[in-house]
Amino acid sequence: MAMAESLTNIENSEAKVVKLCTFNAHSFPIYLLSMPTLHWIGKEKVINHHQDVPYRVLEHKYGFTAEHGRQPGETGSGNLILHGDNLEALKSLLPEYEGKVKCIYIDPPYNTGNEGWVYNDNVNDPKIKKWLNGVVGKEGDDLSRHDKWLCMMYPRLKLLHKLLAEDGVIFISIDNYEFNYLSLVLEEIFGRKNCIESLIWKKSYGGGSKSKHIVNLHEYIYFYAKNIEQINELSLAHDEAILKYYKYEDEKLPERGPYRLQPLATTSMDDRPNLVYPIKYNGEEIWPNKQWQWSRERVETALINNDLVIEFKKGKWSVNYKQYLKSSEGVTRGSKLYSIIEGIYTQQGTSDLRSIFPDTKFTFPKPSSLIKTLIELSTSGDSLILDSFAGSGTTAHAVLNLNKQDGGNRRFILVEMEDYAETITAERVKKVMSGYADKEGTGGSFDYYELGKPLFTGDNNEFLNEAVETEKIREYVWYSETRTAYKKPDSLNDSPYFLGVLEETAYYFIYEKDSQTALDYDALSAIKTKAGQYVIYADNCLLPKDFMMTHNIVFRKIPRDVTRF
């Protein structure tokens, strides 16, 4: 009876249960418990919605440089501020940036129910409501607060995952309202193994007299990798405060700098018999109380290289290893980020913003130093950083400050859907670059874009939108075929319809705005590039099928609305 009750409880539990088979001898079913998954009203409508989001072209509005101010042309800096719905914006970034973003930081709506917040609790924004009703359907009106939030976040996270480089990471700020739900969504999209840490940020240093139960002093920052196996050791720049501990010197000083002593023995509770062995020194055998940190082979090498300090003090042996300030490559040792982040408070974020906009109505902006720490931990000097919930532009502020600090050339992409994208987000970046209050400018430049026309029209997005400029269409065709960013060919002497060559395949887009085109022998005669295969777009194909097979030609029909011809 007890076993039957137990099996009934398993079947009724929230864990996902798969009934594999029945064991014949006793008629007991065998179950496999898999990872729990999160379900909510509307999930089936949004789980693949990112595939249906339309591509829109990016329309350049102006460039800005710290030296010359606003200008009509593009700056070529690689820094981009984009005004538009962040779901459509992320889709429109794919042709150029898929798999290229090293670090993503987002501060999405926390969904606390406090609609008075300006930008980080706007799940009931009219734009979001309209999208929910259009995508999820009439039941969108009946969704709970959590359902709405999950429907909003899921397709955005799917697109962010696509944009992230294989060795890239994502940081997501959140509090306890959606912390647990977000955890399960991230496990579903990124995979549980790719969770590096759930960081705790101590956001406040006191107060709380108005709190009825507990004074809340923290928020969370989820830290995930695209592929954790591609993530190398993470560290921050060395902390000046610890330099005093590196007080010893030896013959390696010119290359490795000074060193500090660290105990080789460990009190770890792990049972590692291979780390329990004697170190032979001056005729003595020195055993650890528990075990050593290093293998026997590594210790023997360290003894030869003079990397250990062994002493007899107060009746017992001590074994320490030399921790040099610099690595064997001459790189100064960095410090580690702790899972609890202290010493950076919300009040600093408010002070940051008010020094730029004294009358700002933004509440609880993140401190730029917090985001700078995360970016410093996870990027190198030429990395690309993306924030698709840009708000007041704190992420760009952090990137610019870090570049000024270490001489890097990191680039940023900010996406903001609200109308203050230019007056607050972009304006803040301008002031950081040019200087404000008593702060010296960081220098730099950026380009401001808005979402433009969709690439496809029709009730089912089945027709090419011929109002879009031809070069933008060519960019999309190349991306759709190769999943790589389009680079305009250096020369079109081959053919005005030539797109490029990738992996021995040549691509052509035979297109004219006001007339139908054909793939025929005349069109082929203009093609000069030698390739193993040819993918050619046109309105019609007049070549025999056997000829195309013999010459490895693949025809793609341009999806035109023929009623206009």
CA-based nearest residue to 259, from 310, 311, 325: 325
According to DSSP, the residues that pair with 523 across neighbouring strands are: none
Burial 259-269 (b: 16+ CB within 10 A, else e): bbbeebbbeee
Report pLDDT for 564. 65
Report pLDDT for 492. 60
pLDDT range class, residue 219, cuts 50, 70, 90: very high
Q: Has residue 6 got a pLDDT over 50?
A: no
Contacting residues for 215 by C-beta, under 8 A, at least 6 apart: 207, 208
The region, left, alpha or beta by phi > 0 then psi within -120 to 50, assigned to residue 515 is beta
Place of tokens 């799917």: 158
The arithmetic mean of pLDDT across residues 194-215, rounded, is 84
Q: Has residue 166 got a pLDDT over 70?
A: yes
Place of tokens 């992420």: 395
The arithmetic mean of pLDDT across residues 172-195, rounded, is 95
Q: Tens digits of per-residue pLDDT, 421-461?
A: 999 999 999 999 999 988 999 999 999 999 999 999 988 88
Length of the chain equals: 565
CA distance 23 to 43: 36
Beta strands in 264-396 (DSSP E): 265-266, 279-281, 284-286, 291-292, 308-313, 316-324, 340-341, 384-387
CA distance 258 to 324: 6
Report pLDDT for 12. 40
Instruction: Give a three-class secondary structure readout of 440-500.
Output: ECCCCEEEEEEEEEECEECCCCCEECCCCCHHHHHHHHHHHHHCCCCCCCCCCCCCCCEEE
Q: Has residue 23 got a pLDDT over 70?
A: no
pLDDT range class, residue 491, cuts 50, 70, 90: low
> What average pLDDT is seen over the chain?
88
Q: Has residue 555 got a pLDDT over 80?
A: yes
Q: Has residue 25 got a pLDDT over 70?
A: no
Q: Quick one: 392 exposed, middle or buried, by C-beta within 10 A (0-12, 13-18, 19+)?
A: buried
Q: Quick one: 316 exposed, middle or buried, by C-beta within 10 A (0-12, 13-18, 19+)?
A: exposed
Give the range with max mean pLDDT: 32-46, 232-246, 541-555.
541-555
According to DSSP, the residues that pair with 55 across neighbouring strands are: none
Judge contact between 201 and 172, C-beta under 8 A. Answer: no
Least-confidence region, from 18-27, 80-89, 401-410, 449-458 = 18-27
pLDDT range class, residue 56, cuts 50, 70, 90: very high
Looking at domain 45-234+348-454, its CATH architecture is: 3-Layer(aba) Sandwich (3.40)
According to DSSP, the residues that pair with 59 across neighbouring strands are: 450
User: Between 8 and 529, where is the model more confident?
Assistant: 529
pLDDT range class, residue 198, cuts 50, 70, 90: very high
User: Between 495 and 440, where is the model more confident?
Assistant: 440
Judge contact between 444 and 79, C-beta under 8 A. Answer: yes
Domain range summary for the chain, segments of one domain joined by + = 2-34, 45-234+348-454, 240-324, 468-564
Judge contact between 345 and 367, C-beta under 8 A. Answer: yes
